[in-house]
Amino acid sequence: MLNSTPIASLADANSTSDQPQAIPQSRRAVIQAVAWQTWLGVAATLLLLVGIYWRVGIKLFHDWMDYPEYSHGLLIPFFIAYLLWDRRRQLRDTPVQSVWAGIPLVAFGLFVLLLGIFGAELFLSRVSFVLIVAGLTWTLFGWSMLQRVTFFLFVLFLAIPLPVLLLNHITFPLQLFASKVASGLLPLAGVPVLREGNVITLPAMPLEVAEACSGIRSLMSLFTVAVIYGALMERRISLRVFLALASVPIAIVANVARIVGTGLCVQYWDPDKALGFFHEFSGWLMFLVSLACLYLVHQALTYFARRVESAR
């Protein structure tokens, strides 16, 4: 049942109930009834969402487990749970007002869900969940609450794998870019190369920059980590955005360095070991280096921000 009575006022009413100017008992009963109706509606809505999306959720979990480029999605539920706990006071103090304005967004989310089901498009089915949650938050708790949880919804969206068509449009240019830059750097180390597309031909053997070596895995994971890191360590929105954007060139440069290192190991060490243990180990190593670079970027941004504030 939708209503226009702010539930946040219930806390104020209870806090003054033992004082002479306490509100009438009848009004407290009305407020409590409204609160119970709202929270019962929330519980029923959650059960309904579980019933609708449990198949979608199971498939999404398997994608997180089976595909390395989506493994960062495993962090998202825990991070959102932590944000809800960490910002519980802000959420509790946000005025709550049930309105009808969010119903069209819920309807649109259901329409997108149907498109995803009948069109066999997992991306649409998963995105519809974010849309419906946004619409229900707006409907049950009001516009102020929706503004408060906008970042939560954005983080939730990061857990959704991109559609294959869009992913291919990102992956192939990354493959070509990494191949081109690596083939330009290897001769500086005395390694002659011949590049054809995403294949770098070395004297020892050809080195193919495959889809898995495009850097899309580290890019998506590092971007998500940058968003989480910014939310935990930085209060200024502008610096959070800059950190998230800085993760993109950091991931690309780290992937180029990984390919160059692999090429050097192929030429001067052992091709089998270079494409085996070193190739896998270098992926983890370069990701740790990327995290260190992200930290250094944050420290530099913080330093310059303080200098600017002190100069004012």
Segment 277-281 shows an average pLDDT of: 67
User: Any idea which of 1-10, 16-25, 91-100, 246-255 has the lowest mean pLDDT?
Assistant: 1-10
Residue 146 pLDDT > 70: yes
SS3 string, 125-164, reads HHHHHHHHHHHHHHHHHCHHHHHHCHHHHHHHHHCCCCCH
Does pTM top 0.85 for this prediction? no
Position 30 pLDDT exceeds 70? no
Dihedral sign for Cα atoms in the order 161, 163, 169, 172: positive
Q: Is 120 left (phi over 0), alpha (psi -120 to 50) or beta?
A: left
Give the CA distances from residue 81 to residues 72, 94, 178, 299, in Å, rounded to whole numbers and listed in that order: 15, 18, 37, 27
Identify the CA nearest to 122 among candidates 47, 167, 169, 57: 57
pLDDT, one tens digit per residue, over 119-132 is: 778 899 999 999 99
Mean pLDDT of 230-253: 90
Instruction: Show the tokens assigned to 124.
Output: 């649409």
Domain ranges of the chain: 9-161, 165-311
Q: What is the pLDDT of residues 147-193, one digit of tens each?
A: 999 999 999 988 898 887 888 788 888 888 888 888 888 888 888 88
What integer pLDDT is reported at residue 297 of this predicted model?
A: 93
What CA–CA distance (Å, rounded) separates 162 from 159? 9
Confidence label for 287 from pLDDT (cuts 50, 70 and 90): confident
Provide mean pLDDT across the span 33-49: 70
In the predicted structure, residue 247 carries a pLDDT above the cut 50: yes
- Of 255, 181, 248, 247, the C-alpha closest to 215 is 255
Average pLDDT, rounded, for the chain = 80
